[in-house]
Chain A
């Protein structure tokens, strides 16, 4: 099967610091990964599309300088929340599409809960 691992699963940081979240496809290659944000009792909101070897594509309203995305390899994408503030506290989820899957099926990570004090 296709497995996506996210790390850390939860993190607490002080306001003003930066936090990096990793998303790894463990048993398949993913040229494209997606980063979502989920507020309590709300749906997943797509933040950006991470493309291996090129710049990420950000959704409208998402600050690219605030949420840095790097997709350096076919199995790893990272999301760095820079100069985090309490309003950045949220649940961040990544997903990846298996190459050649043909069915446009995404595999999701378990999510990373960020709390900014």
Chain B
């Protein structure tokens, strides 16, 4: 079975401070990991995925297979980063569906 854990339901940081949203996963094979973001009153949208190793809106996430983690980081948070963030895992093979974490509500304070 695959599982995604986001231990923090709420996270508040001040503008300009570093932010890290934690994500741990459980999966026996080689997973694909994603971060999705949902801004207020908007639909869920892809932020980044581990296979592309990209930085989007200043966010990065590194897959650590040893620690089974995929934490989302940004060195300097901005107020517009305030949103709900979901970590998601897709298993390999025919497991096409994503398993979502419970989400972390990030609030960046002025």
List A contacts of B36 (CB < 8 A): 108
Nearest residue (CB) in B for A59 is B97
Residue A34 at the chain B interface, CB threshold 8 Å: yes
Do the beta carbons of A43 and B103 come within 8 Å of each other? yes
Residue A104 at the chain B interface, CB threshold 8 Å: yes
Residue B12 at the chain A interface, CB threshold 8 Å: no
B:67-110 near A, CB below 8 Å: 86, 90, 96-103
A-B pairs with lowest CB-CB distance, top 4? A108-B44, A110-B43, A43-B102, A44-B100
Give bound CA distance, A106 to B45, whole Å.
8
Give bound CA distance, A104 to B46, whole Å.
11
Do the beta carbons of A42 and B102 come within 8 Å of each other? yes
Show the binding face of A for B, using Cβ within 8 Å. 32, 34, 41-44, 46, 49, 93, 95, 97, 103-111
Do the beta carbons of A111 and B46 come within 8 Å of each other? no
List A contacts of B46 (CB < 8 A): 105-107
Do the beta carbons of A43 and B100 come within 8 Å of each other? yes
List B contacts of A106 (CB < 8 A): 46, 98
List A contacts of B101 (CB < 8 A): 43
Do the beta carbons of A103 and B49 come within 8 Å of each other? yes
B21 shortest CB reach to chain A, Å:
14
Q: Given that A43-B101, A46-B97, A97-B96 are known contacts, is A103 also in contact with B43, CB under 8 Å in the complex?
A: no
Residue B52 at the chain A interface, CB threshold 8 Å: yes
List B contacts of A34 (CB < 8 A): 97-98
